[in-house]
Structure 1
Amino acid sequence: MLPNISPQQKTAVTLLSIGTFLEFFDLWLYLHMSVKINDLFFPPSFKHSWLLSNFALCSAFLFRPIGAIIFGWIGDTLGRKATILITTSMMAMSCAVIAILPTYEYIGVLAPIILTICRGVQGIASLVEVAGARLYLLESSKPPTQFFLIFLVSASATFGRFAAVGLASLIELLDLSWRIAFMFGVVVAIVGTVARRALKEASNFSNARKRLISYMSDSSKKVLEKSPLLRRPINKSSLLFMTLASMAPNTCLFFLYNYSADFLRSKLGLTPAEVLNHNSILGLGEVLSDFALGYLVLKFHPFRIIITRSVLHLVVIFAAPFVLSNAQSPVSILILQTLAMLFAVDVEPGGVAIFYTKFPILKRFRAVGMSFAMAGAISYTLCAFCMKPLTDRLGLCGMWVILIPVWINFNIAIFYFAKLDKKTRNNEDIM
């Protein structure tokens, strides 16, 4: 049975889910199209093309801490809605530039530089998107409805990734220009910007701002300094453990869509079109699994689901090198990917709702934004630049050097927040 959701919450989750879908569609469109366009912007004749193409991929995550600082302040000062509208517009502009950008053949090294900057802008926009949408719903609802609403937004990100690989596969199947895909991304981002103008500011954030203003009725600085809304610090331990927990989903996604795609091309000889078709099937499975998780989060506490999936994921980690080394067809790899996706180490469903409440509301956007940004920057950069060299040097078991420590850190973080949540479950959220 679905939880009791008010009309305003239905409107908010619909608009936020649409926007998150659009943002992640645009962000992941490049990742899937890269199997086709990398040679155009990073040709093999270009010195260090592998290094630079990986940097372009990672730039979507490396620039996120900058966005966390800028938009964290905007989100905690001007509001959640303002940041969401600004970043959706940024996504539209970056897609437009990529769509019309001349390749390396025409403008030389300027092409990959501009492309990398556009990817950085997309990364910043998607960071604020997912953090802003989750915070908006967190501050507009209460548990257990809160867990379900926030998960719907996260599931829309999954659907956005699936739609991106589906479009990329269709473009390749019909032998159309890759630029059409990015022009479609522009349209998608513009639609998201217009649709979200109907959002109202999150109620909890608005109430906190009003209480802060009441402290400022006397312009005395001493009165303002006594405000508990400003004096409550960000817990550094909570920030660290949330960052460790958030690294795991990024590492899992890299294995599913980046490392596996490279393995399919280099070891099994699949063409870019075949890799895209393969990933389309995997993406569909990811969407379907989200429906199951959405049902489970209505029945069980989020941490029970998260810990169960994590334990089963460890089995997949140990099996992965042996499955890959004996793979004779893409089917066996698809089965491995599907198991890794079903039993992913992920803070969803519902975990982020518990994490975010452990930070003061008027500093919350900055805290969760920086944590999410640093987790993506560290994990994707580590995977992109280290996983392939490790497996080349140590064999496929070399992936354990990254995957096992990430898994351990994830579980330490989950148990930290589970213990913290047990202490504060009957208290009000930190304000």
Structure 2
Amino acid sequence: MASLTRQQKEAVGLLQIGTFLEYFDLMLYVHMAVLLNELFFPKTDSYTESLIASATLCSTYVFRPFGALLFGYIGDTIGRKKAIIITTSMMSLSCLVIANLPTYAQIGITATLVVTICRTAQGLSSMGEVIGAEVYVSEITKPSAGYSAVAFISVSCAAGAMAAVGIAALVTSYGFNWRMAFWIGACIAVIASVARTRLRETPEFVDMKRKEKRLMEERAARNPEQSTKQLNRAAKTEQPKAPITTLVNCFFINCGWPLSFYVIYIYFNPILKKTFGYSPEDIIFHNFILTIIQVLTFVMWSVLTRHVYPLKLLKIKGFVSLALMAAIPLFLVVCKSGMQLILFQALILTFTLHNFPAEYIFLKRLPVYTRFTSAGLIYA
């Protein structure tokens, strides 16, 4: 990112730190669910416990479309800067609540309700965070520096998840206080929220609002009898719309990541446990190694965007990813050790098909007026 100005580097740095913390806080509970669900949920039979664990995980993601609409409206109407400050504040508040929340044994079902609400709030805020950061960086940079600048936002997400798994390993293996982990994440997130107030609104958003105001003034001059609400609605109808083909392509390309995430971090876990005799602690450490690999591969792809057009990299990832997914049944037949499995998982991680590292290009093909909302809904 040598071609970025000092102000751009500062903005990118603040956003990367905030995104790192956002995903650290988000994934911290996911990777410690085996411990925390016992503390915040009633003890019952194994089937019900499995349903509770699934519901806790799903509550983080099922409301993401609502988060996309909420923060999309804020980001596209009020400003990118305000949206990303609100998301970081929501995440820090949720972490503070979880860090100080009494257990089910102390306050009963209230603990269950509060932790579920906090997880839902974290899912909503993470939705606005990653998209807000990518949109902001895309609007303050130019090609080709913007390719890697936006791609490194995904690196920050991966690094946050890696740190969360590392803390989970410390908690489960060495008795590290889990509440301290949430305290650390919350406190640093508060600092990040305050630091982000130094950001300026993006030039593209400011220019879009200026044009919108001028358009409303022109319509008011031609139709003085119309109310401000009617003028605003009319002005919106004249804004450019996102191309349907772009939206559909973005959606299907993004579907590759949740599929790969499930295969890598969930589907193979029973195989590690039943076939290779891994304990829960062994599985967490195994996943920690995978998150390190994920960060390294994300850095590799981000750096490559400086030398290779991102859409070319995306095509390579797509072809290899499809081949690897098709090879899973055959691999399970020949796999003889956990080491072979982790190497195969590492390959899937490296070539996972999603819009990374071409986020900049996809975002730029969306109209400024609806960019935050459109990108958010696709991601959700």
State the TM-score, normalizing by the size of structure 1: 0.80
Deviations 1:361-385 (A, max 9, x none): 1111111112211xxxxxxxxxxxx
Question: Per the alignment, in what secondary structure is the counterpart of residue 268 of structure 2?
Answer: helix
Partners of 1:113 and 1:327 in 2: how far apart? 42
Residue 28 in 1 paired to residue 35 in 2?
no
Aligned to 2:136: 136
Aligned to 2:4: 5
Alignment CA distance shift 1:172-1:239 (3 Å): same
Check whether the contact 1:90–1:121 (CA below 8 A) recurs between aligned residues: yes
Check whether the contact 2:250–2:355 (CA below 8 A) recurs between aligned residues: no
Aligned to 1:399: none
Partners of 1:69 and 1:41 in 2: how far apart? 30
Question: Per the alignment, in what secondary structure is the counterpart of residue 139 of structure 1?
Answer: helix
Residue 74 in 1 paired to residue 82 in 2?
no
Of 338, 341, 348, 1:333 maps to: 341
Check whether the contact 2:152–2:299 (CA below 8 A) recurs between aligned residues: no
Question: Per the alignment, in what secondary structure is the counterpart of residue 277 of structure 2?
Answer: coil
Partners of 2:198 and 2:310 in 1: how far apart? 31
Partners of 1:262 and 1:128 in 2: how far apart? 33
Check whether the contact 2:254–2:355 (CA below 8 A) recurs between aligned residues: yes
Check whether the contact 1:15–1:195 (CA below 8 A) recurs between aligned residues: yes
Aligned to 1:290: 298
Gapped regions of structure 1 (runs ≥ 5) = 374-431
Deviations 1:210-248 (A, max 9, x none): 122222335345876775884323334433332222221
Matches within 5 A, 1:186-205: 186-205=186-205
Question: In the TM superposition, what is the alpha-carbon distance from 1:109 to its structure 2 partner?
Answer: 4.0
Matches within 5 A, 1:246-285: 246-285=254-293
Residue 59 in 1 paired to residue 67 in 2?
no
Aligned to 1:15: 14
Deviations 1:169-224 (A, max 9, x none): 12233212322222222123212212212111111111111122222335345876
Aligned to 2:84: 84
Alignment CA distance shift 1:342-1:46 (3 Å): closer
What is the aligned length?
Answer: 371
Deviations 1:37-66 (A, max 9, x none): 333345452762212211211211111111
Check whether the contact 1:68–1:370 (CA below 8 A) recurs between aligned residues: yes
Matches within 5 A, 1:299-314: 299-314=307-322
Question: In the TM superposition, what is the alpha-carbon distance from 1:276 to its structure 2 partner?
Answer: 1.8
Give the percent of matched residue pairs that are identical in Structure 1 and Structure 2: 35
Aligned to 1:423: none
Check whether the contact 2:254–2:353 (CA below 8 A) recurs between aligned residues: no
Aligned to 1:409: none
Check whether the contact 1:229–1:360 (CA below 8 A) recurs between aligned residues: no
Aligned to 1:367: 374
Question: Per the alignment, in what secondary structure is the counterpart of residue 295 of structure 1?
Answer: helix
Aligned to 1:407: none
Aligned to 2:183: 183
Question: Per the alignment, in what secondary structure is the counterpart of residue 4 of structure 2?
Answer: coil
Question: In the TM superposition, what is the alpha-carbon distance from 1:288 to its structure 2 partner?
Answer: 1.4
Alignment CA distance shift 1:319-1:107 (3 Å): farther
Question: In the TM superposition, what is the alpha-carbon distance from 1:162 to its structure 2 partner?
Answer: 1.0
Deviations 1:316-337 (A, max 9, x none): 2123234345544321221111
Partners of 2:270 and 2:140 in 1: how far apart? 42
Q: Which runs of at least 4 in structure 1 moved beyond 6 Å after TM superposition?
A: none
Check whether the contact 2:127–2:376 (CA below 8 A) recurs between aligned residues: yes
Question: Per the alignment, in what secondary structure is the counterpart of residue 231 of structure 1?
Answer: coil
Gapped regions of structure 2 (runs ≥ 5) = none
Task: Read off the aligned partner of 1:369 and give its amino acid letter.
Answer: G
Check whether the contact 1:208–1:229 (CA below 8 A) recurs between aligned residues: no
Deviations 1:274-302 (A, max 9, x none): 22211121111111112211221111111
Alignment CA distance shift 1:277-1:225 (3 Å): closer
Partners of 1:259 and 1:361 in 2: how far apart? 39
Deviations 1:10-63 (A, max 9, x none): 111111111111101111111111233333345452762212211211211111
State the TM-score, normalizing by the size of structure 2: 0.90
Partners of 1:76 and 1:55 in 2: how far apart? 31
